[in-house]
Amino acid sequence: MENQTTVSYFLLLEFSKNRHLQILHFSLFFLLYLATVTANLLIISAVAFDHQLHSPMYFFLMNLGLQDLGIVSAIVPKSMINSLMDTRHISYFGCVTQYFFFLSFEACDVSLLTVMAYDRYIAICNPLHYEMVMNWKYCSEIIILVWVTGLLYGILHATATFSVLFCSNVVNQFFCEMPHLLKLSCSGINLLEIGILVASVIAGVGCFTFIVISYAVIFKTVLRIPSEKGRQKALSTCIPHLTVVSMLLLNGCIAYLRPSSNTASYLDIVLTILYALLPPLFNPIIYSMRNKNIKCGLSRLWRYDKLF
């Protein structure tokens, strides 16, 4: 406890001390960030401006795009600036802000993917009741609940994590990531943080269990559809969502369930990029690849832009 310090800033992991490699890191992250922002903004714009895409499924997809933009915007710009300016510093407030927004948007992502599974369940298993159940009032209330829940989750986590004294300010990651910050606590994880972590695990397991059960029922219903065209149409709306959920679950498990280490490693960086940066990039691509309505919406958006 003699090593307790009042931290005014943190030192993030630098990819290299070599100036050329720092510029390379900046360039790669800039391209990744630009591609992610462009892909998600295209989906958001297509849904927002195309009246044919004004349905619950695409409304949820638009919000997923906003959340993915929030995830990458919370962590990538600071890492790029640090490499460009040849520094490792992030202020205490900057770290708190980064930590809060990243966890909030990640929690919103998980909640929304659960809601989207329910939407597909109603659309395929109870199509006659779909418009009555998934009306705009209900969808709006769900989205508000998703965003509020995510923000509250971020507030609770940030409050619990930064209410302790830190014995070090060296974060072995390129952003203020939860596992690495918890290791810096002089007294270990406090009871509030333990409670939040336990509740998070229970909620996460509950969400993914609900998704698995929903899709088990969905696939059972799809197999009963007499026409092959009908089965393909039903599956075309489910496979992208299931792919996104599987990617998030797999990458999250690899990142958080791996044996912890007190030293930085390239494996940690790669795994973090896999679960934090690649899903926001691939989500809009996955949804647009097999969805004819999205493709048509993007095509109409492109023709509209060319007029100006």
pLDDT per residue over 110-146, tens digit each?
999 999 999 999 999 998 889 899 999 999 999 999 9
Q: What is the tally of helices (H) and strands (E) in the chain? A: 11, 2
Round to whole Å and give the CA distance between 269 and 256.
12
**From the centroid of its chain, how far is CA 269?**
17
Exposure b/e, 89-116, CB count within 10 A at least 16 = b: ebebeebbbbbbbbbbbbbbbbbbbbbb
> For residue 1, what pLDDT band results from cuts at 50, 70 and 90?
very low
Tell me the percentage of the chain whose pLDDT exceeds 90. Answer: 42
3 state DSSP class of 176:
coil
**Strand (E) or helix (H) holding 91:** strand 89-91
The Cα 114–Cα 85 span in angstroms is 40
Q: What is the value of pTM for the model shown? A: 0.90
Tell me if 301 sits within 8 A of 90, measured CB to CB: no
User: CA separation (Å) from 221 to 120, 164, 238, 307?
Assistant: 12, 51, 12, 44
According to DSSP, the β-strands at 89-91 and 9-11 are antiparallel
Average pLDDT over residues 188-201: 80
CA distance 155 to 160: 9
CA atoms within 13 A on the CB side of 219: 7
What pLDDT band is residue 243 in, cutting at 50, 70 and 90?
confident
